[in-house]
Chain A
Amino acid sequence: MANRRDEFEALLGPHFDALFGYALRLTRDRNDAEDLMQESVFRALRGFGGFRAGTNFKAWMFRITTNTFVSGKRRERRAPALVDELDVAAPASEALEVELRDAATDWATVFSETVEDELKQAVDELPEEFRLPLLLSSLGDLRYKEIAEALSVPIGTVMSRLFRARQRLRHSLRGYAVARGVAVDEEES
């Protein structure tokens, strides 16, 4: 039993910070994130017998954490988000305008000047349907297929939500950078 826990802990160690970051961005509260982590580690440990050595432990842990979070939310019986509305693409004229504005932005400056709290706030403001794939991809390094399995949605949905999530995030970060005067608002100039 102790050997199994040691083995589990050794595998978990390198991903602990990424997982806790994920839990924190899901719950937006440090105590809740700690609870979520504890519950996820407990569930993972119980299912560790079924984990196949050589497969992606990190993706497995992110998937368990996602399931734990989602099932916890389901228990809370919160109203579901309007997914269809979120998945509707912007009109073509608007998309073109966004593209032109993006092309004129100095993203290297925006990203390098981004303050950590602003990044967290921008991520926290994303609807859950966008936030989860973004975090699973960037923090968990999960493949599209793994994200699709973790969220029980088709791969095409993962791709479109990931695209929209990054687009929204970029614009939020640009907004913060403009507000602090480190980037120029292309509309005004």
Chain B
Amino acid sequence: MKGCADVRDMIHPFVDGELEVTDNVTLLKHLELCPGCRARCEEERALKELVGSRLQERLSEVERRRVLAGAFGRERRAVWRNRLANAAAVLLVASGAGLGMLVAKDPCLFKPCPTELALKAAVEAARTQQPLSLAQVAEVFPREVCVPKACNLRNEGVFLVAAPGGAERPVVQYRCQKTGTRLAFIHVTSQHRLCFGEAREHTDGRRYVSRAVDGMRAVGWYGKDGELRACLAADDVPDDTLYVMASAVRDGDI
């Protein structure tokens, strides 16, 4: 049989029910024959029970309800907070998606439209500059200028208008030989064709877009290359005149 010193460390785990089976058997055998260790086990058990039973604290029903009501109330509020946060997140995602769709529909929703800027620059040039002859333009402009031949429209020269990136864009000026009405023709790389909306069919059976630009009117069409060409005229030019002139330029723009 093992001595008292051998089983001393087993007493606490024994009282706590943590002793392994073999050690349990060893200790029980020892306890049968050792009143001293048996007493120690009883003392430890009594102390454990003393702490376990005498330190419990009975709460009054009011205190108990207060603790539970406080905790349950906080939990309810936390659940609602979570629900609100989730709803807000869903709304945020939905509005983000909605905004994305709007921007896809109109890429210039939050920034100036480069096509419109080009048209405005052309309007400004037509008002303030003297046109250059084609020969003068050829000296300073590296590319060939597209000048559609239009019936009854006489080319009066070309303005060179500053374009984004430091380049220049030619704007061709025409004058109607019958009415004297002036018309500016501009060719824009229309990255933002959506900003001008859907083209509508005119009485000549062709589709045009139109828009007011800084006191002038633009009537435009998309060429086979998908780029926008527009004719600008003062906004007091009658609709029919503008479309006839634009149609003539369009005929020559092949």
Chain A residues proximal to chain B, CB less than 8 Å: 1, 5, 9, 16-18, 20-22, 24-25, 33-34, 37-39, 41-42, 45-46, 103, 107-108, 111, 114, 116, 119-120, 123, 134-135, 137-139, 141, 143-144, 159, 162-163, 166, 169-170
Chain B, Cβ-Cβ closest to A107: B43
Interface size on B, residues (CB 8 A): 35
A45 and B73 CA atoms in complex are apart in Å by 11
CB atoms of B55 and A123 under 8 A apart: yes
Known contacts A144-B18, A163-B12: A34-B50 contact under CB 8 Å? no
Chain B residues proximal to chain A, CB less than 8 Å: 12-13, 16-18, 36, 39, 42-44, 46-52, 54-59, 63-64, 66-68, 70-72, 74-75, 78-79
Chain A, Cβ-Cβ closest to B48: A138
Chain B, Cβ-Cβ closest to A134: B51
- Chain B's interface: helix, strand, loop or mixed, by majority? helix
CB atoms of B48 and A137 under 8 A apart: yes
CB atoms of A143 and B47 under 8 A apart: no
CB distance from B83 to the nearest CB of A (A): 12
CB atoms of B55 and A34 under 8 A apart: no
Known contacts A45-B72, A108-B43, A144-B18: A138-B51 contact under CB 8 Å? yes
Which residues of B sit under 8 angstroms from A116, Cβ to Cβ? Answer: 54
Which residues of B sit under 8 angstroms from A120, Cβ to Cβ? Answer: 55
7 nearest CB pairs, A to B: A41-B71, A138-B51, A42-B71, A21-B57, A138-B52, A107-B43, A17-B56
A116 and B70 CA atoms in complex are apart in Å by 30
